[in-house]
């Protein structure tokens, strides 16, 4: 009797929650996954900032802003999103050109525009605008795309990529390139072209080497052999691998990571926060976080596969995949698998506008899923 009561209460609560989520056009499992990651992130941030409640507070405000934006985006009609794509792209491109021009005049690196109340990075906008526009273009064409379409897409992707890289911001530039590229891959780019592009990329990398800034080259060289300059550019990687390695399976304990707390670990609450997790919470703590990420990515991919509209499917699939790319690049960099590229750990790293962009992207994804039955 009692059991039945409890069961029915639970069922009622669940049904009610599902109804509320449905009304808000949110996906329950995805929301839970994102929420757990964000909570974990704030928990770790307290330790990684050296016990600074101020940092946690500011992080939470930013998180709140992202959640708000996600809610707003979730309410948008897929058709509106689609039609907005080229305009968003045009705006982003214009702002990128302005930022580059200002940077050129001011003779220095320039990545953001000061809007007075906040600093806005146009390249951050492009991380969404580029895949949106690519999906928009592909929706109008038969898939897999033909040669002319591919050339158009290449131009749409490479121009903002180039404008971002010359800022100079290699990391974000590559992410924009990948976001666009993933859309094209999901659209069914033939395997032959993928292989061809792969070879092309190697050649480009070879030639591109000569156009890299010294500090960018240094990053690559340091990646290949961090010990060559242990106190200079190799310092970051050496210290973060020491932090992770010394964490062991169970970690040194929350707030007890010597590498992080004694500041041997640089950027410990921003780009290198993953090392703090590895050090204080060990392999188990890191696996938990990776597990949450993989869950979110798989759920998002599943949602994408349920969509009937090409634009929705491609954009959602891309948002899911690029989320994983962020995680992999950041964790790979911190654990010494990849060179040091300034990519934050999604929803965990402190600062930057990336958390807002990411949550806005998931808002779009949920909006597209809520309207999956429609060809947008």
Partner 1 sequence: MSLRGIIKDFWREQRLFEQRAIAAVVIIATLSLLLVGRLVWLQVIRYDYYTDLSQGNRVRIEPLPAPRGIIYDRQGLILAENQPAYQLELVPEQVPDLDATLQGLVRIGLLNADDVDDAKRTVRSRRPFDSVPIRLHLSESDMAAFGVNRFEFPGVDIRTRLARSYPQGETAVHALGYVGTVSATDLARIDREAYAGTSTIGKVGIEAAYEDPLRGRNGSREIMVNARGRSVEKLGTLQAALQTRPGEPGTDLFLTLDLEVQRVAEQVVRDQRAAIVALDPNNGDVIALVSRPGFDPNLFARGLTRTEYAALNDNPDRPLFNRALRGTYPPGSTIKPVVALAGLTHGIIEPDKPFFCIGYFSLPGSSHRFRDWRPKGHGAVDLRSAISQSCDPYFYSLSNQLGVRRLNAFLGQFGLGKPTGIDIGGEKSGILPSPEWKKTAFKQRSAQVWFPGETVIFGIGQGYMTSTPLQLAHMTAILATRGKNFEPRLVRAMRDPRTQRMTELTPSPLPPLQAASAEHWDLIIDGMRAVMEGGSATRSAAGAPYSIAGKTGTAQVFSVAQNARYNESAIAERLRDHAWFVAFAPIEAPRIAIAVLVENGRSGSGTAAPIARTVMDAYLLRKFPPADAATPSGDVTEE
Least separation in angstroms between CB 64 and partner 1: 29
Least separation in angstroms between CB 43 and partner 1: 16
Tokens found for residue 159 = 């121009």
Least separation in angstroms between CB 247 and partner 1: 6
Look at residues 195, 90, 79, 185 and name the one whose alpha carbon lies nearest to residue 133: 90
Tokens found for residue 233 = 């550019």
Tokens found for residue 330 = 């950041």
Q: How far is CA 42 from CA 201, 289, 320, 345, in A?
A: 38, 13, 22, 12
State the virtual CA torsion across 208, 210, 215, 219 in degrees, nearest 10: 60
For residue 367, the number of C-alpha atoms closer than 13 Å in the C-beta half-sphere is 24
Identity of the residue, 140 or 225, whose beta carbon is nearer to partner 1 in the bound complex: 140
Least separation in angstroms between CB 185 and partner 1: 6
Q: How far is CA 365 from CA 81, 223, 226, in A?
A: 11, 35, 39
Least separation in angstroms between CB 203 and partner 1: 23
Identity of the residue, 155 or 249, whose beta carbon is nearer to partner 1 in the bound complex: 249
Identity of the residue, 25 or 313, whose beta carbon is nearer to partner 1 in the bound complex: 313
Identity of the residue, 65 or 290, whose beta carbon is nearer to partner 1 in the bound complex: 290
Identity of the residue, 58 or 77, whose beta carbon is nearer to partner 1 in the bound complex: 77
Decide if 317 contacts 186 (C-beta within 8 A): yes
Identity of the residue, 37 or 320, whose beta carbon is nearer to partner 1 in the bound complex: 320
Residue 345 CA to residue 269 CA, distance in Å, equals 10
Decide if 368 contacts 376 (C-beta within 8 A): yes
User: Contact residues for partner 1 (CB under 8 A)?
Assistant: 140-144, 185-188, 239, 241-249, 255-256, 258-259, 261-264, 278, 282-283, 286-287, 290, 294, 297-298, 301, 304-305, 308, 310, 313-314, 317, 320-321, 324, 328, 331-332, 335-337, 375
Tokens found for residue 263 = 């500041």
Residue 265 CA to residue 278 CA, distance in Å, equals 12
Decide if 121 contacts 95 (C-beta within 8 A): no
Query: Residue 91: which residues within 8 A CB-CB, separation 6 or more?
Result: 125, 129
Identity of the residue, 71 or 374, whose beta carbon is nearer to partner 1 in the bound complex: 374
What DSSP character marks residue 338?
S
Least separation in angstroms between CB 150 and partner 1: 15
Identity of the residue, 168 or 171, whose beta carbon is nearer to partner 1 in the bound complex: 171
Query: Residue 117: which residues within 8 A CB-CB, separation 6 or more?
Result: none
Identity of the residue, 124 or 279, whose beta carbon is nearer to partner 1 in the bound complex: 279
Least separation in angstroms between CB 268 and partner 1: 10
Least separation in angstroms between CB 244 and partner 1: 5
Least separation in angstroms between CB 302 and partner 1: 8
110-149 b/e (C-beta count within 10 Å ≥ 16 → b):
bbbbeeeeeeebbbbbbbbbbbbbbbbbbbeeeeebeeeb
Beta strands in the chain (DSSP E): 113-114, 119-120
Least separation in angstroms between CB 187 and partner 1: 8
Identity of the residue, 50 or 103, whose beta carbon is nearer to partner 1 in the bound complex: 50
């Amino acid at each position: 009797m009692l059991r039945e009561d409890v069961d029915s209460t639970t069922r009622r609560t669940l049904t009610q929650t599902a109804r509320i989520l449905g009304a808000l056009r949110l996906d329950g499992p995805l929301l839970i996954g994102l929420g757990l990651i964000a909570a974990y992130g704030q928990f770790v941030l307290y330790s990684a900032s050296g016990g600074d409640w101020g940092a946690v507070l500011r992080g939470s405000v930013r998180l709140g802003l992202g959640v708000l934006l996600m809610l707003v985006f979730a309410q948008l009609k897929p058709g509106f999103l689609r039609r907005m794509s080229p305009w968003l792209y045009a705006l982003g491109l214009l702002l990128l050109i302005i930022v580059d021009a200002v940077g050129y005049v001011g003779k220095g690196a320039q990545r953001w525009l000061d809007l007075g109340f906040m600093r806005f990075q146009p390249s951050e906008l492009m991380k969404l605008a580029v895949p949106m526009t690519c999906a928009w273009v592909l929706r109008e064409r038969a898939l897999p795309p033909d040669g002319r379409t591919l050339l158009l897409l290449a131009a749409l992707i490479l121009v903002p990529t180039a404008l971002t890289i010359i800022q100079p911001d290699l990391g974000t530039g590559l992410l924009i390139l990948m976001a666009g590229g993933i859309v094209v891959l999901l659209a069914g780019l033939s395997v032959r072209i993928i292989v061809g592009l792969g070879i092309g990329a190697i050649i480009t990398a070879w030639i591109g080497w000569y156009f890299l800034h010294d500090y960018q080259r240094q990053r690559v060289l340091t990646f290949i052999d961090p010990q060559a300059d242990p106190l200079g550019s190799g310092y970051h990687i050496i210290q973060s691998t020491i932090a992770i390695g010394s964490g062991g399976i169970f970690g040194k304990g929350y707030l007890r990571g010597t590498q992080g707390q004694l500041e041997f670990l640089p950027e410990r609450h921003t780009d290198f926060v993953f090392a703090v997790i590895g050090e204080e919470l060990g392999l188990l703590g890191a696996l938990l976080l990776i597990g949450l990420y993989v869950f979110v990515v798989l759920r998002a991919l599943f949602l994408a596969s349920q969509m009937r509209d090409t634009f929705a499917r491609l954009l959602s699939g891309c948002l899911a995949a690029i989320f994983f790319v962020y995680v992999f690049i950041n964790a790979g960099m911190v654990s010494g698998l990849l060179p040091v590229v300034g990519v934050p750990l999604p929803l965990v790293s402190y600062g930057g506008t990336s958390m807002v962009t990411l949550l806005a992207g998931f808002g779009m994804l949920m909006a597209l899923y809520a309207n999956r039955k429609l060809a947008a």
